[in-house]
Structure 1
Amino acid sequence: MPDGTFHSHNSPMKEAKAALRKDMKARRAAAFSADPSAGERLAAGFSIWPPSGTVVAGYSAFRNEMNPQPLMQALAEHGCHLALPALIDAGAGLSMVFRAFAVTDQLVEGPFGILQPSDTAPEVLPDLVLVPLLAFDRQGRRLGYGGGFYDRGLHFLKSQKPFKAWGIAYAAQEVHPLPVEPHDQRLDAVITESGFILTETD
């Protein structure tokens, strides 16, 4: 996993993203409060099943992120192998790797208080990554938290194998237009409690 960081000297872009992050955190919190069982409805309405044996990386929901656990459970029941991201100390900052995961596994608290597999869980290269976010648009653009962990992790994974990245979000997190920078990794699709959105990536 590379330990380099993407840099942007576009100050107006940074300011636009910072302002949008603040707004979207409030919007997502409101969506969570209004519909705390949205993760169950998202899973119940899901029908785009990957082939059995597909390695699917989910995530541990943090604060008011859409809960992917019901969907991950359903994917496991359909024969998929699960993984979770883990932030590790790469010597020059934190890097994201993916580690094998089963729903019965005991997770440990990682950086920022997010639960992740222990260091003894083997690293894997997923075929499908379920990605948390603050905002998305139908061109596959994603607004994250600004740390760049997913952008760097997906950029590295792209150099290793073909894979798909699907955002997981409340429908209320859709925004147009979404500010984007060259290093921002695009989503192939977004799943919300309202359905599956195949993005129109360039």
Structure 2
Amino acid sequence: MPAIDPKPLLRNEMKARRAGMASELPQAGEQMAEAVSAFFDALDDWPPAGTLIAGYYPIQSEINPFPLMQAFADHGCDLCLPCLAPGESGFRMIFRHFAIGDSLVLGPFDIRQPLDAMPEVDPDVVLVPLLAFNSDGIRLGYGGGYYDRALERLRAEKVIRAVGVAFSGQEVADLPVEVHDQRLDGIFTERGLAGADPQE
């Protein structure tokens, strides 16, 4: 008898849990930006000017990363957003240059993304939305595999950092992991960088 995949049921559970957190913390995006900024300020170690940060356009109950993206831009970083572009077998995730205030178009799955005329780029840091995460950097996504494939491609080309964006309450003790799953290098939450102490 084939094993039952636990991910679909877990996704439904975590979607409902995240929706509740979003309702309780409507300003989580601003709180995250303040907490992460305070962390970098305490270390006096913001990413160098010119670092290319990939954010995302929030959907459903995802934390809005735009306040944090603006903070990075204020410290000299460049920004980009993911786009789903036609590939050989379905859509593939690429990244296009973006600045706060730029016009966006409705892409696949009704997610807003930069215009096709914007240059394609390869980010140095990727902010990744998620449904759940654990202390080992395992992420539960939506099941499409777009971020996993994009991160695998980028990591084959250069050193990058993938940082999850989540409510602190989305952390779970254990998650199923498959060979293609790309681990996260850290997690930004409304409390700052998960598991980090700027005094250490």
Superposed counterparts of 1:176-195, under 5 Å: 176-195=173-192
Aligned equivalent of 1:39, options 29, 33, 48: 29
**Per-residue deviation, 1:104:** 1.9
Asked if 1 retains the 8 angstrom alpha-carbon contact of 2:168 and 2:194, the reply is: no
Match of residue 43 from structure 2: none
2:81 aligned counterpart, secondary structure: strand
2:163 aligned counterpart, secondary structure: strand
Distance 2:186 2:88 in 1: 33
Asked if 1 retains the 8 angstrom alpha-carbon contact of 2:30 and 2:68, the reply is: yes
What TM-score results when the alignment is normalised by the length of structure 1? Answer: 0.90
Q: Which runs of 5+ in 2 are unaligned?
A: 41-45
Aligned equivalent of 1:28, options 18, 33, 37: 18
**Per-residue deviation, 1:163:** 0.3
Match of residue 150 from structure 1: 147
Instruction: Give deviations 1:33-87, integer Å, cap 9, x for gaps.
Output: 0111011000011133211110000000011101101000110000000000000
Aligned equivalent of 2:73, options 73, 76, 88: 76
Distance 1:198 1:165 in 2: 16
What TM-score results when the alignment is normalised by the length of structure 2? Answer: 0.91
Question: CA 1:11 to 1:107, structure 2 compared with 1: closer, same or farther past 3 Å?
Answer: farther
Percentage identity across paired residues of the two chains: 54
Aligned equivalent of 2:9, options 1, 19, 37: 19
RMSD: 1.2
Instruction: Give deviations 1:111-152, integer Å, cap 9, x for gaps.
Output: 000000011111111110000000001100000000000000
Matched, 1:135 2:132: yes
Aligned equivalent of 2:48, options 47, 51, 73: 51
Asked if 2 retains the 8 angstrom alpha-carbon contact of 1:188 and 1:198, the reply is: no
Distance 2:142 2:81 in 1: 18
Count of aligned residue pairs for this structure pair: 188
Aligned equivalent of 1:106, options 91, 103, 106: 103
* AA in 1 matched with 2:11: R
Question: CA 1:152 to 1:84, structure 2 compared with 1: closer, same or farther past 3 Å?
Answer: same
